[in-house]
C-alpha cells in the first residue's frame, strides 16, 4: 500500500511510541529488504500515548474518545488546535474542558485572522517566530501560542502571512 501511494521512500512515518520495538523495527527491516532503499523512512515520529483518566486509551479497554464525537462539540479547526496544544512526544490526557477552551481560543484567533487575503507566507519577524517554533522539534504548541500572540497586533500585510500559516500550515483557522 505504501509503495503504491507514497513510493519507495517515505519522508515521515508516525506511530505510537509503544510501537518502536518490535513493530517499527520489523517494518524497517521488511520494507528496506523489499525496496532495496535505505532508509525507507527518512524521519520516524513516535508520539506519546493519548490517555483518558490517566489510563492509555485503547480499543481493548473500551476507554476511547473518538474524533467524530469531538467534532459534534467543536469545529475541525478547534479540534486541531486542541490536539496541537501539546508536544507530540508528551503524553496527552484528554479533558473535555481543554477541548471547550480550544473552541474559545480558535474563535478568537479566527476573529483576528480569519477574514481577508491569505499569504503568501512572508519572511517578516512575526511569521518567522511562528515557524521557528515548528523548527524546534515540531513544537506545535509553541507555534500556536506564538500565532495567537503575533495575531493580536499584526499589521494587515503581516496578518495575511500569519493567516496563511494558521490556515495552510497549522490548519487552525
Domain ranges, residue 3: 1-47
DSSP lists the bridge partners of residue 45 as 14
Q: Residue 13 contacts by C-beta under 8 Å, 6 or more apart in sequence?
A: 24, 41, 43, 44, 45
Q: Are residues 107 and 32 in the same domain?
A: no
Most confident range (mean pLDDT) of 9-13, 47-51, 133-137 is 133-137
Residues 23 and 84 in one domain: no
Q: Is the pLDDT of residue 124 over 90?
A: yes
| Residues 63, 43 within the same domain | no
In this structure, the answer to whether residues 91 and 24 fall within a common structural domain is no
CATH number for the domain spanning 108: value is 1.10.730.10
Let me know whether 38 and 64 are in one domain. Answer: no
pLDDT at 43 over 90: no
41 plus 60 within the same structural domain: no
Would you say residue 114 has pLDDT above 80?
A: no
**Same domain (yes/no): 99, 36:** no
| Structural domain total, the chain | 2
C-alpha cell at 75: 469545529
Contacts of 121 (CB under 8 A, 6+ apart): 127, 131, 161, 164, 165, 168, 169
Average pLDDT over residues 10-17: 87
61 and 113 in one domain? yes
| 56 in the same domain as 41 | no
Q: Tell me what the pLDDT averaged over the chain comes to.
A: 92
Amino acid at each position: 500500500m505504501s509503495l503504491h501511494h507514497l513510493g519507495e521512500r517515505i519522508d515521515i512515518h508516525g506511530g505510537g511510541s509503544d510501537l518502536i520495538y518490535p513493530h517499527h523495527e520489523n517494518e524497517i527491516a521488511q520494507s528496506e529488504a523489499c525496496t532495496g532503499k535505505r532508509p525507507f523512512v527518512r524521519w520516524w515520529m513516535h508520539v506519546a500515548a493519548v490517555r483518558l483518566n490517566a489510563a492509555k486509551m485503547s480499543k481493548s479497554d473500551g476507554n476511547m474518545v473518538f474524533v467524530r464525537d469531538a467534532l459534534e462539540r467543536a469545529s475541525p479547526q478547534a479540534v486541531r488546535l486542541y490536539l496541537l496544544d501539546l508536544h507530540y512526544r508528551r503524553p496527552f490526557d484528554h479533558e473535555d474542558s481543554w477541548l471547550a477552551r480550544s473552541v474559545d481560543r480558535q474563535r478568537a484567533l479566527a476573529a483576528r485572522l480569519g477574514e481577508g487575503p491569505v499569504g503568501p507566507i512572508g519572511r517578516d519577524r512575526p511569521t518567522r517566530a511562528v515557524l521557528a517554533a515548528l523548527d524546534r522539534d515540531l513544537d506545535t504548541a509553541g507555534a500556536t501560542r506564538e500565532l495567537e500572540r503575533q495575531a493580536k497586533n499584526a499589521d494587515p500585510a503581516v496578518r495575511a502571512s500569519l493567516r496563511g500559516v494558521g490556515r495552510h500550515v497549522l490548519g487552525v483557522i
